[in-house]
Each structure stands twice: as structure tokens, then as C-alpha cells.
Amino acid sequence: ELFCRDLRGSLDDFLESAFQALEVNYPKFYKMDASSKLGFLAAEMLLKEISLRAEYKPEQVAVILSNAHASLDTDVRYFESMKTMASPALFVYTLANIVAGEICIRNGIKGENAFFVWPQFDPFQMHQYVESVMASEKTHACIAGWVDVMGGHHDVFLYLAEKKKRGNAPDHSVVHLQNLYHLKEYGTVNG
């Protein structure tokens, strides 16, 4: 277990507490929207003991993400800011794929990058797309998953797929993704 906190506060409070608990030195974090912060922190936790920069060339790592609300949470906040003075800093985050960009910048990733909007996490579609990306000779690893924020709702699930097996890592399969996501929903996945 990497971080636990009473969830009665706001998402913003949780994200800031998680950022501080992880002791990450990345001042740009405070300028990100909630979706980018959530995805950034999930990637930090996912890669806590893995250095992609040391193991792969920047173009050998891909990032494939999805969610149900695109950037709607930030779009609403930006729309509200336009009533007084539109926030250029917030405007940057009115694209759903910015969360992938933040993960790429932090980890020096320059490989394929895609973002999909699906009604719910779809392990079949995610598996199919990641497998097609990993079939390329140039892609050796892929951060993939789900980062969704809308109002009071947030949901995140990231995983790392690699061509080379790491320890006793399971095969990349639809059933495995479905099981991991289901376990995450009930809070039984640790670490």
C-alpha cells in the first residue's frame, strides 16, 4: 500500500496530500488540472521502483489512456472562469490527452501516444490497442489505463505492459485487465 487517506475531503485535497506523501519534486504539479494530477500520481506510483529512462529509449515507450468524460471536468471549470477572466493556465487542460502529455514529460517518453473516450473502462479495447502498439518493433513498453475525473467522481487504473517479462508479471490479457480493474474497484489491490 503506497498511500492511504480519509476520503471525506475534496479530490484536490486528496491529490495534494498524495503528492506530498510521495515526496515528488515536481513544481509543475500545482498548475495541473485534476485529471492530469490524478494520472500523474498514478504513474508515479506505478513507476515508483522502475526507471523507464534507464531501461528504454524515449521512443520505445508508449502511453495509451482512456476515460469516459474526456476533459469535461476542466471544460466546466474553464467555462466558469470565463465569467470573470478566462484562465489561460486552465485552457491548456481542456484537451483530454494532456494527462498523457504530463506523464510523458515527467518520464521522458516520446513513443506512441493515444487517448480514447469510452463509456466505461473497456479491457477488450484497451488490450487490443496496446497489443497492436506493442507489435511494433520500436515499442518495448506501454503505460496504459483509465484516468477519469468529473465533478466529485474520479477513477484511475494504470498498468505497465512490457515485451520483456519483469519477475512473475502476468501475461497481458483481457481477463487479467478485467480482474485487475475489478479488484481496484473494491480496494483489494495493494502496491
Average pLDDT for residues 110-136, to the nearest whole number?
97
DSSP lists the bridge partners of residue 117 as 67
Radius of gyration of the chain (CA): 16
Please, which pLDDT band fits residue 89 given cuts at 50, 70 and 90? confident
Please, which pLDDT band fits residue 191 given cuts at 50, 70 and 90? very low
- For residue 75, the SS3 value is helix
Residue 120 region by backbone torsions, left for phi larger than 0, else alpha for psi between -120 and 50, else beta: beta
- For residue 69, the SS3 value is coil
Burial of 78-106, coded b for 16+ CB within 10 Å and e otherwise, reads beeeeeeeeeeebebbbebbbbbbbbbeb
Average pLDDT for residues 77-87, to the nearest whole number?
84
Q: CB burial class (10 A; 0-12, 13-18, 19+) of residue 7?
A: exposed
**Residues 93/33, Cβ–Cβ less than 8 Å:** yes
E strand residue ranges, the chain: 61-67, 113-117, 141-150, 153-162
Which residues 6+ apart lie within 8 Å of 183 measured at CB?
189
Mean pLDDT over all residues of the chain?
89
For residue range 151-177, what is the model confidence (pLDDT) as tens digits? 878 999 999 999 988 777 778 999 999
pTM of the model: 0.88
Position 141 pLDDT exceeds 90: yes
